[in-house]
Every structure is written in structure tokens, then in C-alpha cells.
């Protein structure tokens, strides 16, 4: 009996990743530092060329990254009649556990942050080829190169992308289609995100940030200098009293150095003049306006940074920033993961399934209250809105009818071929 043929794996890529992400080996009872794809050291000094080195912009970006990390990517298949969740594919497993170091939240929030920082996020999905010729995905890693990668083309027109990592001795080249490139501000670059317009806008923002920093520093200097002196001690004495004058002056200086607020004893030849403090600083309203002007291109307000969200501001954040980013990443992943045949048959990655899951609890309850009597959603869909798991044995795949029928005594099973009429319109 012939032995079963072993799965053919891409040894070159596996060995490369094992070298960069493998466990540190013991050598003479010592450990060596594990190499990673990280290509820089985050030393946040001055502004250099990044507006994210401002605490204000950094806080706004982290806030959006945290919201993006809440999304739950799924492998779905749209077969024209209904959207089916695919849970047993290698892609689905990858979305639930990206790699051995990160949770889905960690992965998504870091990917969003790097996209904001570099206008691109590069993700490498590690895979091997099965006996049937199918790609089996095992992990995906976020790449952080030292500089913007280069795009090359061979004589057959195949595109390649070359990365440079300081922790690796030589450049690393992948096929362009093997890398998930999550772009932002797709402008005048043919293959990657970013461009001269983003660079010019960031340079203008840097000028505003430098002015903002100068205002904060000047305010601190005024407060420090204004508290250095409370008054002036004027000594009126004759020339014959030089030693006496010097003694008084020395004692007063020593009192200041030692943070002793007491003053020397004044005699008839000494006068004390009090200094009235009139410190000139930027008023609170002007400072708030400066901060808001800096934050306007981030889509985040000062109230959001302090954790205060109303319905209007939260919807604006999701619709202008989170939803477009989620759609963009889902399409970039789908392009890399799925073949043309799979795409034709409806396979895709969704990170933003519906707006309801991102609403406040009070808003979700309002939607449930207004739709449950009409049977718009299935019971499991209502449970999903509130964060609960589906009912067992597909009991939740039914549509409730009326507030008194929620116990399941009068429910209509939602068959694939059944059509219901809601408000005069057919709803499949």
C-alpha cells in the first residue's frame, strides 16, 4: 500500500518566518533577542516628520484604533439568496487567531495605527499549498519595514515588492499579490497609498503643532518666572555701611536659594516694594480653539478624547473613518485570500457587518422595540445585537410576531423560499 503523500509546504517562506519570529535559542545558558519585522525605534522626540509624535494627534489616532479593534472580521459567502458565514475555512481560522502573538483586537488596532502613520499597512499571510493545490493559510503578520518598499516588474509583467528590515541581512522580496496592502489616501502613487498631497498637509499640520507646543511652553515659563519673586528689597544706607549692606543682601539671597519665604529684618534704611503679579497667558477659550483646529482633520473632538460621545458624534466617527477603513481592509484581504473563482461565487471578508452592533445599548433597544412587532429580524439577529450567542438547535432562526408571541408559541419559521409582507413591501 502506497504511503500517503505529504503536504507540500513553502519551506523557504516558513524558514524565513521562523527565523524572524522563532523562539529565542539558548546559547551557553543565555538568551538572544528575537528578531521581528520591526524596522525602527519609536523615540518620540520633537516632531521630526510625523504629526503622530504630538500627544494630541496620537491620542486621537489611538482612539480610532481602539474602535477599529472592536470589529469582528468574518469569512462570508454571498450566494445571492442569503449571506452565509464560513467558519471552517483556513481564512476563517486566521481571522479568529491571526498569529501566535496577537489577538484579533491587537492585530486590527495595530494595523489601523500603522496605516495612519505610514498611509500603508503591509500584511503577510503565511500559507502552504495542499495536495489539491489549495492555499492553506496558517498565520498573518504585520510588516514594519525600515522605509517605503519598492515595486518591481519582471519580463513577464509579474509585480514584486521589496522590503528592507534592519533585523534581516538582505532585502526580502514577495510577489505583490501575496501581500495585503491596506492603503490610505490613495493619491498619486500607482501602487501604494499616500503621496505629495498628504506630505504637504502633514507639513502644514506640523507647523500648527509647533505653534501649539510653543504656546504650552511659554505658558509654563510665565508661571515659573512669575513665582520667582514676590518683591524687591531696597536698602538705603550710607557708603560707610558697605559691610552692613552686603550682609543684608547676602542673607536675602540665601533666603531665596533655600526657599525660605521669610525676609530679613528691615531697619530704617531699608524699603520693601511688593510686586503685583499680572501674568499674561492664553485664555482657555483660545486654547480650546487651537486644539480643535489641530484635531479637525482627525475626525475626533476634545469631548471624544475625554470619553464623552453623543449619538451624532459617534455616527460621524464611524461613517467617516471606521466604516470606510473596514470596507477597505476587507476588500484588500479578499483580493489576497480568494481566487477569481471564489470571488465570483461570493467569497469575501467583512469587518463591518452592520451598524447596529456599534451603537449604544439604548439605541439598540430602541431598534428592537420598533422592529420586533413587524418581524423584521430573526430572534438570533436580535440576540446578536445585544452580544448574545445564537440559540441552540437553530431555534433562533425564526421571526417573532407581536409582543405577546416572544415565548415562541406563535412564530413563523423563516424558510428560504418564504416571503413575508411588511408594510406592503415583500421582504425575503
Q: What is the mean pLDDT of each run of 10 residues along the chain (428 residues)?
A: 50 49 44 46 42 85 93 86 83 94 94 92 92 90 88 87 82 90 86 82 79 74 59 56 72 69 52 60 73 82 84 83 92 93 90 65 81 81 78 80 54 46 40
pLDDT at 227: 56
CB 184 within 8 A of CB 193: yes
Nearest to 201 by CA among 75, 115, 296: 296
Nearest to 14 by CA among 128, 159, 108, 175: 128
Report the helix count and the strand count for the chain, using DSSP H and E. Answer: 13, 17
CB 412 within 8 A of CB 399: yes
Which three-class secondary structure string do you get for 157-170? CCEEEEECCCCCCC
pLDDT at 92: 94
Rounded CA separation 215/220 (Å): 9
What are the extents of the domains in the chain? 201-285, 354-428
Max CA separation in the chain (angstroms)? 121
Rounded CA separation 370/362 (Å): 12
Rounded CA separation 323/325 (Å): 5
Which three-class secondary structure string do you get for 343-361? HHCCEEEECCCCCHHHCCH
Rounded CA separation 309/319 (Å): 15
Amino acid at each position: 500500500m502506497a504511503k500517503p503523500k505529504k503536504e507540500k509546504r513553502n519551506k523557504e517562506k516558513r524558514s524565513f518566518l521562523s527565523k524572524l519570529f522563532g523562539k529565542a535559542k539558548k546559547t551557553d545558558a543565555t538568551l538572544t533577542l528575537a528578531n521581528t519585522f520591526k524596522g525602527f525605534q519609536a523615540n518620540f522626540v520633537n516632531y521630526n516628520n510625523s504629526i503622530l509624535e504630538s500627544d494630541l494627534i496620537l491620542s486621537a489616532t489611538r482612539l480610532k484604533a481602539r474602535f477599529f479593534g472592536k470589529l469582528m472580521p468574518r469569512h462570508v459567502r454571498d450566494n445571492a439568496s442569503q449571506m452565509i458565514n464560513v467558519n471552517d475555512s483556513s481564512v476563517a481560522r486566521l481571522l479568529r487567531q491571526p498569529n501566535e502573538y496577537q489577538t484579533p483586537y491587537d492585530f486590527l488596532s495595530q494595523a489601523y495605527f500603522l496605516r495612519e502613520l505610514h498611509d500603508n499597512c503591509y500584511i503577510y499571510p503565511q500559507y502552504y499549498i495542499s495536495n489539491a493545490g489549495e492555499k492553506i493559510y496558517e498565520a498573518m503578520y504585520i510588516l514594519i519595514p525600515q522605509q517605503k518598499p519598492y515595486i518591481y516588474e519582471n519580463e513577464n509583467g509579474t509585480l514584486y515588492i521589496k522590503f528592507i528590515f534592519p533585523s534581516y541581512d538582505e532585502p526580502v522580496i514577495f510577489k505583490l499579490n501575496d501581500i495585503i496592502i491596506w492603503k490610505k489616501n490613495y493619491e498619486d502613487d500607482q501602487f501604494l497609498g499616500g503621496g505629495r498631497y498628504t506630505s504637504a498637509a502633514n507639513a502644514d499640520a506640523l507647523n500648527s503643532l509647533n505653534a501649539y507646543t510653543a504656546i504650552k511652553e511659554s505658558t509654563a515659563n510665565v508661571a515659573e518666572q512669575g513665582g520667582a519673586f514676590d518683591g524687591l528689597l531696597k536698602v538705603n544706607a550710607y557708603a560707610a555701611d558697605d559691610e552692613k549692606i552686603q550682609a543684608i543682601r547676602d542673607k536675602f539671597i540665601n533666603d531665596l536659594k533655600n526657599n525660605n519665604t521669610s525676609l530679613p529684618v528691615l531697619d530704617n534704611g531699608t524699603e520693601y516694594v511688593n510686586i503685583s503679579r499680572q501674568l499674561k497667558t492664553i485664555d482657555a477659550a483660545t486654547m480650546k480653539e487651537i486644539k480643535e483646529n489641530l484635531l479637525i482633520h482627525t475626525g475626533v473632538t476634545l469631548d471624544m478624547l475625554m470619553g464623552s460621545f453623543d449619538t451624532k458624534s459617534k455616527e460621524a466617527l464611524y461613517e467617516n473613518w471606521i466604516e470606510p477603513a473596514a470596507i477597505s481592509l476587507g476588500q484588500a484581504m479578499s483580493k489576497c485570500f480568494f481566487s477569481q473563482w471564489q470571488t465570483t461565487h461570493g467569497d469575501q471578508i467583512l469587518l463591518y457587518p452592520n451598524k447596529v452592533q456599534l451603537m449604544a445599548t439604548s439605541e439598540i433597544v430602541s431598534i428592537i422595540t420598533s422592529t420586533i412587532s413587524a418581524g423584521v429580524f430573526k430572534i438570533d439577529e436580535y440576540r446578536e445585537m445585544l452580544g448574545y450567542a445564537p440559540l441552540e438547535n437553530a431555534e433562533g432562526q425564526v421571526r417573532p410576531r407581536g409582543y405577546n408571541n416572544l415565548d415562541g408559541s406563535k412564530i413563523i419559521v423563516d424558510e428560504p423560499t418564504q416571503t413575508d409582507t411588511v408594510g406592503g413591501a415583500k421582504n425575503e
